[in-house]
């Protein structure tokens, strides 16, 4: 084999990158299912117009990924980038069913009610929270570490919907944090793990994948994986529906985490953070 001037570490990195890419793209098609965003958006607009509670749905002329929708008496702008990327990355998914879930989620988020029974804590970036805010809308959230924030949301059948302090007028933030985390804990029996690469474990919540990154908030989760990770760990949250954990004592953990993030960001959907985080002595830290 001719290697030229590539050092041994470079060969390892190349092999690792290829493995990570394969790990993340087992179901990825060689060709995109939908050739362009504009064509796909028309399918979503048609589905929105069939949805009860939707008064109108029109394309945004300034952005091929956005749709301006009137739900009841509320004007809503939705973005189809994530679902477009997801269906192109996972061609075995039922596209019609996925689009129906998307439009139901959009309407549920504006018609359904938040309660203590469906309140959960999810991780988002502070930038995401700022973008989500609108005039007169106050979100229930708190900074966590680095660019991450805990955003409190209502866990609806087809979506997660932001909540406001006024939705829980008789509760303190501390009260709501406890309620939300207890609701996340109910999903601990549904955790799925995959450690086929050895250097990294993937964790997600089967049946409610958007709670996967919330696992980092639970001491019970870290205790449950102590046999695999008895010491400090690095973890990556490149997507909202996956958690990657690395043994911090492994000299390759840092580069593997960076490669995992880079591969995930190439897919471009459900993105959360391109940063690497640590859990050291039981505390969550952000790498600078």
Is residue 274 pLDDT above 90, yes or no? yes
* Residue in this structure with the two tokens 């469906």, named with its chain if needed: 118
pLDDT, tens only, 12-35: 333 444 455 555 554 343 445 787
183: which residues sit within 8 A by CB, 6+ positions away? 117, 118, 119, 120, 155
Identify the CA nearest to 89 among candidates 274, 264, 275.
264
Classify 134 in phi/psi space as left (phi over 0), alpha (psi -120 to 50) or beta: beta
**Dihedral angle at the C-alpha atoms of 36, 38, 39, 43, nearest 10 degrees?**
130
Q: What pLDDT sits at residue 72?
A: 80
Q: What pLDDT sits at residue 207?
A: 93
Beta strand ranges found along 126-217 (DSSP E): 141-145, 148-156, 159-162, 191-194, 200-205
120 neighbors 214 (Cβ within 8 angstroms): yes
Mean pLDDT of all residues in 52-63: 90
How many CB atoms neighbour CB 84 within 10 A?
Answer: 24
Q: What pLDDT sits at residue 111?
A: 65
pLDDT, tens only, 193-243: 998 877 899 999 999 999 999 999 999 999 999 999 999 999 999 999 999
Mean pLDDT of all residues in 178-203: 94
The sign one gets for the Cα dihedral 268, 269, 272, 278 is negative
CB hemisphere CA count around 265 (13 angstroms) = 13
* Residue in this structure with the two tokens 């679902």, named with its chain if needed: 83
Mean pLDDT of all residues in 3-13: 32
Query: Which tokens in the block code for residue 195?
Result: 């450690």
* Residue in this structure with the two tokens 């998307």, named with its chain if needed: 102
CA 207 – CA 204 distance, rounded (Å): 9
- Most confident range, picked from 12-26, 65-79, 80-94, 140-154: 140-154
Q: What pLDDT sits at residue 29?
A: 38
Is residue 57 pLDDT above 80, yes or no? yes
* Residue in this structure with the two tokens 């940063």, named with its chain if needed: 275
When mean pLDDT is compared across 20-29, 91-100, 115-124, 141-150, the lowest value belongs to: 20-29
Identify the CA nearest to 181 among candidates 220, 140, 144, 208.
220
* Residue in this structure with the two tokens 């229930």, named with its chain if needed: 140
The larger pLDDT score, comparing residue 35 to residue 139, is at 139
Query: Which tokens in the block code for residue 180?
Result: 């939300």
Q: What pLDDT sits at residue 226?
A: 95
Q: What pLDDT sits at residue 157?
A: 84
Q: Give the pLDDT band of residue 135 (cuts 50, 70, 90).
A: low
Query: Which tokens in the block code for residue 242?
Result: 């996956």
When mean pLDDT is compared across 82-96, 100-114, 180-194, the lowest value belongs to: 100-114
Domains of the chain (ranges; CATH) run: 37-111 (3.30.250), 119-185 (no CATH), 189-286 (no CATH)
pLDDT, tens only, 79-93: 999 899 888 887 788
163: which residues sit within 8 A by CB, 6+ positions away? 114, 119, 139, 140, 152, 153, 154
Of the chain, the end-to-end C-alpha distance in Å amounts to 39
Query: Which tokens in the block code for residue 182?
Result: 């207890």
Mean confidence (pLDDT) of the chain: 86
């Amino acid at each position: 084999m001719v290697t030229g001037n590539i050092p041994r570490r470079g060969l390892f990195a190349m092999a690792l990158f290829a493995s990570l890419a394969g790990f993340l793209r087992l179901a990825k098609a060689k060709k995109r299912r939908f050739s362009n965003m504009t064509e796909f958006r028309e399918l979503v607009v048609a589905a929105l117009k069939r949805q009860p509670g939707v008064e109108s749905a029109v394309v945004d002329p300034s952005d091929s990924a956005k749709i301006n929708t009137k739900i009841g008496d509320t004007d809503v702008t939705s973005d189809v980038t994530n679902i477009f990327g997801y269906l192109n990355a996972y061609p075995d998914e039922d596209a019609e069913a996925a689009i129906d879930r998307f439009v139901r989620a959009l309407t549920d988020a504006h018609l359904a009610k938040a309660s203590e029974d469906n309140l959960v804590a999810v991780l988002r970036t502070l930038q995401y929270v700022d973008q989500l805010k609108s005039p007169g809308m106050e979100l229930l959230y708190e900074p966590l570490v680095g660019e991450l924030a805990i955003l409190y949301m209502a866990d609806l059948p087809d979506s997660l919907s932001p909540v406001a302090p006024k939705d829980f007028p008789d509760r303190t933030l501390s009260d709501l944090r406890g309620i939300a985390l207890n609701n996340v804990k109910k999903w601990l029996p549904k955790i799925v793990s995959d450690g086929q690469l050895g250097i990294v474990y993937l964790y997600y919540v089967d049946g409610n994948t958007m709670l996967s990154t919330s696992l980092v908030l639970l001491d019970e989760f870290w205790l449950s994986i102590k046999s695999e990770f008895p010491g400090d760990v690095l973890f990556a949250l490149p997507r909202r529906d996956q958690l990657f954990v690395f043994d911090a004592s492994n000299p390759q953990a840092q580069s593997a985490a960076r490669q995992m993030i880079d591969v995930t960001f190439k897919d471009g959907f459900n993105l959360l953070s391109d940063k690497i985080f640590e859990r050291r002595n039981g505390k969550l830290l952000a790498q600078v």
